[in-house]
């Protein structure tokens, strides 16, 4: 019989430690310390508390915990002296069926890793969905992490231990992340449709894109929704209230991807609400408002270099002139839409009326490392950062690298270097402020010539406009001062200016309450990345819930990952939020 949370909350401390003895390898001190923090309102609260003990432990204790773990497919596994938990997990990932080559490779990786970091490599081999990673995925991850930095690897090992503990606790409590599993399964299914064979690319109106849309609409219908694909390619599903005159609460995100992107960026925010509605529908539960899930057709700007096409259509701000834009193969957006069976003339009619809407709530993978670093599965977004982008062109004098004395140079690249360091320093001065020079070039540069020109990009973002504008002001002044001192000419062109979109406090409060009822702290963070919610904010109040992003927070990349348990957490928060939702005038 499975252990229950009630039992764990009510038993003697020694019985608690005994019941959890298998959750962390040979480390009873963890449940011992967590016992004092009872009672736990939910299994999630128990998991967080155990992991908190690990975070607060001394470095020696943390290293001891890591070293208490066996090597993957190591000598202990061969000798059959692993804990029952470890041997089951390694078998699930097929590590007991390694070919001699794989086995030799793993031994080498184990040895190299231990030699470099001084502790064994830890990986939750049951993987993000709990079904077991492939041996190849394990070997690839091992090889990638072997290149990491010691401090990062120490943290990553502790996080993997947290994930192992989470899976073991699920088994102990007989808990399975049912909605999270559906989200993982669906993400996997639509990730198979790509514009290129190597990775996942799903650009506007390609075959993969249209296939994905059709599938989303089908899942929506199976979940009890009315679904259609609109003239801009948005997949729209409505879970109707019994009250016909009710207003509509909207949720959703985008299903297009960047080139060689991740499986969850955007898509989680469509699939998760569909899975939540399926859950409601199966229980015969309706809501006192209409709930609309939108799969926005385009957010990333891959094919037509124009972003947020889907959400712009929904807010009635689709620029019809874009229809004449051509892709790399000379196919206009208009032709691409017609070919897909859409009538571009109907796009303006997609626009929603603000007075029909209650708000827009977007679920999205974080695409950054903040939740990961705080060991939290989900967080509430405070604001979507606005951004300013510039192109800066510096012009000095290209002269001979051997004959021009240092004090007589007008070196454009040296000026650029000074500007970059200033941007870095200035943008470290406010918590949500970030500044990046992502492009830097010395046109026609040569090894024996002082750089006569230099081009660089500038991207400045902050959760509020004032913080960003102040930083931009200072940076513009610094550029002028640096260039004047170095006798370098400059030209600064602004390419993007987007205001920040603050999330609505009344929606954030309701998300926070739902998170707390799920046993999580209501952790708030800004979004540095742009999202469809930014566009939706032009017609209705918005909020966002972030789900933790694994692998150091990497996104827009095949390595982007999240777990079924974290998806489940976000789903439970959304479900609870919907069941308790109060419109703005009542909230
Ligand atoms: Zn996205």
Q: How many CB atoms are closer than 10 A to CB 582?
A: 12
- CA 49 vs CA 30, 33, 173, 242, 548: distances in Å: 10, 9, 16, 41, 17
Listed residue (347, 219, 329) closest to 274, CA to CA: 219
Summarize the confidence of residues 307-316 as an average pLDDT.
96
The CA 524 to ligand 1 mean position distance, Å, reads 19
Coil, helix or strand at residue 512? helix
Per-residue confidence band for 1, with pLDDT thresholds at 50, 70 and 90: low
Question: Which long-range contacts link 263-267 to residues 24+ away (Cβ below 8 Å)?
Answer: 263/187, 263/188, 263/191, 263/200, 263/560, 264/187, 264/365, 264/547, 264/549, 264/560, 264/561, 264/562, 265/364, 265/365, 265/367, 265/555, 265/556, 265/560, 266/296, 266/299, 266/300, 266/364, 267/187, 267/190
Three-class HEC string of 162-230: HHHHHHHHHHHHCCCCHHHHHHHHHHHHHHCCCCCCCCCCCCCCCHHHHHHHHHHHHHHHHCCCEEEEC
What integer pLDDT is reported at residue 221 of this predicted model? 98
The CA 345 to ligand 1 mean position distance, Å, reads 27
The CA 182 to ligand 1 mean position distance, Å, reads 20
The CA 189 to ligand 1 mean position distance, Å, reads 18
| ∠ Cα 389 546 183 (to 5°) | 120
The CA 531 to ligand 1 mean position distance, Å, reads 6
Summarize the confidence of residues 258-272 as an average pLDDT.
97
Give the CB-side neighbour count of residue 189, counting CA atoms within 13 A.
15
The CA 365 to ligand 1 mean position distance, Å, reads 8
| C-alpha–C-alpha distance, residues 513 and 521, integer Å | 9
- CA 407 vs CA 233, 284, 451: distances in Å: 60, 79, 15
The CA 378 to ligand 1 mean position distance, Å, reads 16
Q: Can you tell me which residue has the tokens 């109106």?
A: 205
The CA 267 to ligand 1 mean position distance, Å, reads 8
| Residue 92: φ, ψ to 5° | -60, -35
* Per-residue pLDDT at 408 exceeds 70: yes
> Which parts of 315-442 fold into alpha helices (H)?
333-339, 370-373, 412-426
**Under a CB-based contact definition with an 8 Å cutoff, are residues 255 and 266 in contact?**
yes
Alpha carbon distance, N-terminus to C-terminus of the chain: 43
The CA 415 to ligand 1 mean position distance, Å, reads 35
What integer pLDDT is reported at residue 97 of this predicted model? 83
The CA 556 to ligand 1 mean position distance, Å, reads 8
Q: Which helix (H) or strand (E) holds 146?
A: helix 135-146
| Max Cα distance, the chain (Å) | 84
* Per-residue pLDDT at 80 exceeds 80: no
> How far from chain centre, in Å, is Cα 183?
15
The CA 116 to ligand 1 mean position distance, Å, reads 36
Q: Is the peptide bond before 122 cis (omega within 30 degrees of 0)?
A: no
Summarize the confidence of residues 236-242 as an average pLDDT.
97
Per-residue confidence band for 496, with pLDDT thresholds at 50, 70 and 90: confident
* Per-residue pLDDT at 316 exceeds 90: yes
The CA 260 to ligand 1 mean position distance, Å, reads 13
The CA 398 to ligand 1 mean position distance, Å, reads 43
**Under a CB-based contact definition with an 8 Å cutoff, are residues 255 and 296 in contact?**
yes
Summarize the confidence of residues 432-443 as an average pLDDT.
96
> Which positions ≥6 away from 163 have C-beta within 8 Å?
124, 563
Q: What is the pTM of this model?
A: 0.93
What integer pLDDT is reported at residue 96 of this predicted model? 82
What integer pLDDT is reported at residue 296 of this predicted model? 98
The CA 509 to ligand 1 mean position distance, Å, reads 23
* Per-residue pLDDT at 78 exceeds 80: no
**Residue 94 vs residue 157, higher pLDDT:** 157
The mean of the pLDDT values for the chain is: 95
**Under a CB-based contact definition with an 8 Å cutoff, are residues 296 and 314 in contact?**
yes
Listed residue (109, 68, 74, 110) closest to 95, CA to CA: 74
* Per-residue pLDDT at 514 exceeds 90: yes
What integer pLDDT is reported at residue 93 of this predicted model? 80
Per-residue confidence band for 234, with pLDDT thresholds at 50, 70 and 90: very high
Q: What digits encode the pLDDT tens for the residues 553-564?
A: 999 999 999 999
| C-alpha–C-alpha distance, residues 477 and 481, integer Å | 6
Strands (E), 437-484: 440-441, 453-462
Percent of the chain with pLDDT over 70: 99
Rg of the chain (C-alpha set): 26
The CA 206 to ligand 1 mean position distance, Å, reads 18
Two structure tokens written together for 40? 């736990």
Percent of the chain with pLDDT over 90: 91
What integer pLDDT is reported at residue 73 of this predicted model? 80
**Under a CB-based contact definition with an 8 Å cutoff, are residues 468 and 494 in contact?**
no
Listed residue (267, 241, 243) closest to 255, CA to CA: 267
């Amino acid at each position: 019989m499975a252990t229950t949370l009630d039992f764990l909350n009510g038993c003697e401390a020694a019985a608690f430690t005994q019941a959890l003895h298998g959750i962390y390898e040979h480390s009873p001190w963890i449940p011992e310390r967590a016992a004092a923090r009872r009672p736990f309102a939910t299994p999630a609260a128990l998991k967080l508390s155990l992991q908190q003990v690990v975070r607060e432990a001394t470095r020696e204790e943390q290293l001891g915990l890591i070293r208490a773990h066996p090597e993957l497919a190591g000598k202990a596994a061969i000798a059959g002296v692993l804990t029952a938990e470890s041997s089951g997990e390694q078998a699930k990932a097929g590590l007991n069926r390694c070919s001699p080559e794989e086995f030799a490779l793993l031994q080498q990786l184990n040895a190299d890793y231990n030699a470099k970091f001084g502790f064994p490599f830890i990986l939750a081999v049951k993987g993000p969905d709990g079904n077991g990673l492939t041996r190849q995925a394990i070997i690839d991850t091992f090889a990638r992490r072997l290149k990491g930095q010691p401090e990062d690897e120490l943290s990553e090992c502790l996080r993997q231990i947290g994930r192992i503990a989470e899976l073991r606790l699920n088994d102990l409590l007989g808990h399975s992340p049912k909605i999270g599993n559906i989200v993982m399964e669906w993400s996997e299914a639509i990730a198979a449709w790509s514009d290129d064979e190597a990775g996942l690319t799903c650009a506007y109106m390609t075959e993969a894109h249209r296939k994905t849309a059709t599938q989303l609409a089908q899942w929506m219908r199976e979940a009890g929704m009315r679904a259609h694909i609109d003239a801009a390619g948005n997949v729209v599903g409505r879970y109707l209230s019994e009250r016909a005159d009710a207003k509509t609460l909207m949720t959703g995100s985008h299903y297009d991807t960047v080139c060689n992107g991740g499986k969850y960026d955007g898509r989680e925010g469509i699939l998760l609400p569909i899975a939540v509605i399926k859950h409601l529908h199966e229980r015969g539960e309706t809501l006192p408002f209409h709930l609309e899930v939108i799969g926005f057709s385009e957010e990333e700007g891959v094919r037509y270099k124009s972003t947020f096409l889907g959400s712009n259509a929904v807010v009635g701000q689709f620029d019809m002139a874009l229809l004449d834009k051509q892709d790399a193969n000379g196919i206009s957006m208009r032709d691409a839409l017609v070919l897909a069976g859409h009538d571009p003339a109907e796009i303006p009619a997609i626009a929603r009326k603000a007075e029909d809407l209650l708000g827009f709530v977007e679920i999205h993978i974080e695409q950054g490392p903040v939740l990961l670093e705080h060991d939290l599965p989900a967080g509430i977004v405070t604001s979507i950062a606005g951004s300013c982008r510039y192109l800066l062109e510096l012009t000095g004098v290209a002269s001979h690298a051997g004959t021009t004395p240092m004090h007589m140079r007008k070196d454009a690249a040296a000026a650029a270097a000074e500007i970059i360091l200033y941007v870095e320093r200035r943008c470290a001065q406010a918590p949500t402020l970030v500044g990046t020079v992502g492009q830097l070039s010395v046109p026609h540069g040569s090894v024996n010539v002082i750089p006569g020109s230099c081009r660089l990009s500038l991207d400045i973002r902050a959760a509020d406009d004032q913080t960003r504008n102040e930083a931009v002001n200072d940076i513009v002044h610094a550029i002028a001062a640096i260039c004047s001192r170095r006798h370098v000419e400059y030209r600064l062109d602004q390419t993007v200016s987007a205001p920040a979109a603050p999330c609505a406090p009344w929606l954030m409060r309701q998300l926070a309450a739902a998170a707390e009822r799920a046993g999580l702290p209501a952790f708030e963070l800004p979004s540095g990345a742009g999202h469809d919610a930014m566009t939706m904010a032009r017609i209705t109040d918005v909020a966002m819930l972030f789900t933790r992003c694994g692998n150091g927070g990497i996104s827009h990349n095949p390595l982007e990952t999240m777990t079924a348990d974290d998806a489940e957490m976000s789903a439970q928060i959304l479900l609870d939020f919907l069941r308790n939702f109060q419109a703005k005038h009542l909230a």
